[in-house]
Amino acid sequence: MIGGKPLSLEGGDHAVLLLHGLSSSPLEMRFLARALHREGFTVAAPVLPGYSAGTKEQRMEAWVAAAVEEFDALSRRYAHVSVCGLSIGAALALALAGKRPSAQSVILLSVTLDYDGWAIPWYRFLLGWAYFTPLRSRWRYREQEPFGLRNEALRSKVARAMLKGDLSEVGPATISLPALHEASRLARKVRRDLPDVRMDCLIVHAIDDETSSPTNARFVSSHVASTFLRAIYLDDSYHMITSDNERETVAREVLMFLRESEAAASAGEGNKPPVVSKALARRLRQIAALAK
3-class DSSP state of 229? strand
Whole-angstrom Cα distance, residue 291 to residue 273? 30
Whole-angstrom Cα distance, residue 292 to residue 266? 48
As a whole number of angstroms, the distance between CA 40 and CA 20 comes to: 21
Structural domain span for residue 69: 7-126+179-291
pLDDT of residue 288: 54
- To the nearest 10 degrees (0 to 180), the angle between helices 177-193 and 60-75 is 60
64-104 confidence digits (pLDDT tens): 999 999 999 999 999 999 999 999 999 999 999 999 999 99
Residue 174 has a pLDDT of 67
Tell me how far apart the alpha carbons of residues 6 and 129 are, in angstroms, rounded to a whole number: 34
- Please report whether residue 198 resides in a domain: yes
Q: Does 209 qualify as catalytic in the annotation?
A: yes
Give domain status of residue 202, yes or no: yes
Counting other chains too, the contacts that 190-196 makes at CB distance below 8 Å and 24 or more residues apart are 190/91, 190/94, 190/95, 190/98, 190/113, 191/113, 191/219, 191/223, 193/94, 193/95, 193/98, 194/94, 194/220, 194/223, 194/224, 194/225, 195/223, 195/224, 195/225, 196/98, 196/101, 196/225
Q: How many domains does the chain have?
A: 1
Distance of CA 94 to the CA centre of its chain: 10
Quick one: pLDDT at residue 3?
Answer: 45
* Of 24, 82, 87, 176, catalytic: 87
Count the helices and strands in the chain (H runs, E runs): 9, 10
Residue 137 inside a domain? The answer is no
What is the maximum alpha-carbon separation in the chain?
57
Give which of 204, 203, 199, 198 is closest to 221, Cα–Cα: 203
Is residue 146 in some structural domain? no
Average pLDDT of every residue of the chain: 85
Answer whether the bond into residue 273 is a cis peptide, omega within 30°.
Answer: no
- Is 148 within the bounds of a domain? no
Tell me how far apart the alpha carbons of residues 144 and 150 are, in angstroms, rounded to a whole number. 13
Q: State the helix-helix crossing angle for 177-193 and 88-99, rounded to 10 degrees.
A: 40
Give me the residues paired with residue 242 across strands.
Answer: none
Answer yes or no: is 144 within a domain: no
In a domain, 232, yes or no: yes
- Tell me what pLDDT residue 255 has: 96
Spatial neighbors of 138 by CB under 8 A, at least 6 apart, are none
User: What is the pLDDT, as a whole number, of residue 264?
Assistant: 81
Report the Cα–Cα distance between both ends of the chain, in Å, rounded.
53
Q: Please tell me which residue in 14, 37, 80, 239 is annotated as part of the active site.
A: 239
pLDDT confidence of residue 1: 38
**What is the structure's pLDDT at 282?**
55
Residue 150 lies in a domain: no
In which residue ranges of the chain is pLDDT below 70?
A: 1-3, 121-145, 161-174, 268-292
What is the reported pLDDT for 2? 42
Per the residue annotation, which of 200, 208, 209, 244 is the catalytic one? 209
Query: What is the CATH number for 118?
Result: 3.40.50.1820
